[in-house]
Chain A
Amino acid sequence: MKYKVLLVFLVLVLIFLRLQSAINSLKPFYLTLEPLILRPHATYDEKMSTIYPVYFDYITAVKSLTPEDSTIYLPPPTTSFSYENEMRRLTNLAITSALLFPRNVSFFDDKSLINTEKNTYVVITNGFPQIKIKAKQIYIIGENVENGFGNYDPTSLNNSVNGLIQI
């Protein structure tokens, strides 16, 4: 009888330990069921925006502002972002290319502004680009999208501004 009680106890302890460590490993907020209960009918964009705040909203705005045959230049991978800056994900060329597909996405370099084709855009983020650029249009992307005409001058914008330059 003692053995039975001991063994049942051991099984219960084993399962309890498993359950506890399993729940601990599922802690990230987007993996909890809370949003599922609070917003069961959320759209794909809303869910992705919860997982990738700022970055995914920016991607959505770029998709709405640019035609599918555009070329979009991203800040080069050497650009330094703080870890808290969600826009650092832009430098992951693979994921940004997939999300902006079928647009052609590449890193900005010295040759990017030579012989630009129509529908060419350069990303504005984290103080990038740090050179003056002759632009057709500039979009400032925040909670809303504002557009203005004129050339891009890095000194006229705050580092925290995100946007898009149409060349």
Chain B
Amino acid sequence: MTIQEILYLFLIFLSGLLTVNLLIKELTWQEHLGLSFLVGFGNHSVLYFIFVLRMGLPLQNNLVFLICETVLLILFTYVLKKKTKHVSFPKEKGKVKYLKTFLLLISGFVLLYTFLQCIYWPVHTPDAIYLYDFRAKLLLRGNLDRFFGGISFYFNQLYPPFTSLMHFFLYQTGAENPKIYYALIFIALYLVIVGYVKRITKSTFLGLLAGTLTILTPSIWWNSTLASTNITLTAYISIATLYLFDPTDKNTYFGNAILGAMLLGFSAWTRIEPFWMVIAFLVFIKNIFRLKIKNLLIFFAIILPLSYLWPSSVITPPTLSAPTPISIIKTEVYRIKLVTNTNSIETIKYFSHPLYESWGIVLPLFFGVLFAEIVFMKKSVFWIQISTLALTLTTIYAIISFSTAFAGWAGLRDSVYRMATMTIPLYWVNIIKSNAWKKFNQFI
């Protein structure tokens, strides 16, 4: 690693940490640490894109830009005197101590394995080579026209540039291999899940259990070693959902709405498929019911510009228009008609194997726990559970919808496997925070 690369990663972390300080009053230290990387990467890529690539600010070296960004954030923090307080809970006693050590050892092994894989093996999967990494190399050569216009294939230019920018930033610092970014996103996902579950259940053991089971899920672990967009999408969309529907959020200020909107916006900044719209719709419903209009306005004031940023920048041939939120809704309304005319059951049967491979035992466990909570424990359904269900159904719908619109759909079993990872962290959080596990914790 070069000194510039280390400095870049440190500044990403610091800028994210300061941004979270400005937004959230209370978090566990694990959440704060994980969110710092997620917010730092997202913020830097969006700001660099707007000010340097779109507006032409003469700060091509992203490290110089990042230093300016961090200095500004330090000033803001100093003036506003805001700092996130770290919540802590009494340490669990008894045998749970040994279980926690066991879980830490397993997580440590998985995270180390991914880290070593990522720093050793170069970008090697075909779509990463010709799309995400290639775009970064075009940008490195200053070839802005081809960066915004794609290469010879239409789908290239419609894919948002988040991971390409991550590769570009790291190449600019002298890094030979940009995959350390994927390892850090994976570690951040783990930390946030651990901290979030720990905070809402007040149990470090349950936090560690949720985090360990998430990263041990084969499809998530496998994705973390690849330079594709799936692990980034999984991290941003699942964590955005957790903060937008945080059961401990009293809605007394807008920190969660802003943080959630930013994270959800970064998921739209990662991949073309509009899964973020499902969560945005649920946020709309929740806030309308509770008459939280300011929350709603702040949320949409962040998410909409972020989702429009790439479509409004991309150079498209006259025969093809970039997907904007409105055009996506129009297309989906049209596709719903096609889907109802299609043999959807057959399509789902065809894709059931990769879906089963990706979700494995997690989905039946999630449904089992949900059923037990509603039927036996007479608990009302939380927004996180509704949004997890909605994202699951949307994934299934997306597969059927895509099969009606794309001639080569039958060859996309691997894509379905990778795409389905998106909801896995949410399944584990829902399972672990359920009352059944709370009882388990009381036993120990």
Contacts from A to B (Cβ < 8 Å): 3-4, 7-8, 11, 14-15, 17-19, 21-22, 24-26, 30-31, 33, 35-36, 40, 44, 47-48, 51-52, 92-95, 97-99, 101-102
**A18-B213, A22-B217 known; A47-B443 Cβ under 8 A:** no
CB-CB under 8 A from B133, the residues of chain A are: 98
CB-CB under 8 A from A94, the residues of chain B are: 126, 130-131, 151-153
Contacts from B to A (Cβ < 8 Å): 95, 99, 102-103, 106, 110, 113, 116-117, 120-122, 124, 126, 129-131, 133-134, 137, 141, 151-153, 176-177, 209, 212-213, 216-219, 221-222, 225, 360-361, 440, 443-444
B365 nearest CB neighbor, chain A only:
A14
**A7-B443, A25-B222 known; A95-B121 Cβ under 8 A:** no
A15-B106, A47-B120 known; 6 other A-B pairs, CB under 8 Å?
A8-B95, A22-B218, A22-B221, A33-B113, A95-B130, A97-B151
> A10 vs B117: C-alpha distance in the bound complex, in angstroms?
31
Interface CB pairs A-B, < 8 A, 5:
A22-B110, A33-B117, A36-B116, A44-B122, A95-B130
Whether A51 contacts B124 by the Cβ 8 Å rule is yes
CB distance from B414 to the nearest CB of A (A): 12
**Partner of B99 from A11, A22, A98 at Cβ < 8 Å:** A11
Whether A31 contacts B117 by the Cβ 8 Å rule is yes
**Partner of A4 from B151, B212, B443 at Cβ < 8 Å:** B443
CB distance from A61 to the nearest CB of B (A): 18
Whether A47 contacts B122 by the Cβ 8 Å rule is yes
> A4 vs B96: C-alpha distance in the bound complex, in angstroms?
11
CB-CB under 8 A from A19, the residues of chain B are: 106, 216
CB distance from A26 to the nearest CB of B (A): 6
**Partner of A21 from B113, B122, B141, B218 at Cβ < 8 Å:** B218
**Partner of B218 from A15, A25, A97, A99 at Cβ < 8 Å:** A25
Whether B137 contacts A101 by the Cβ 8 Å rule is yes
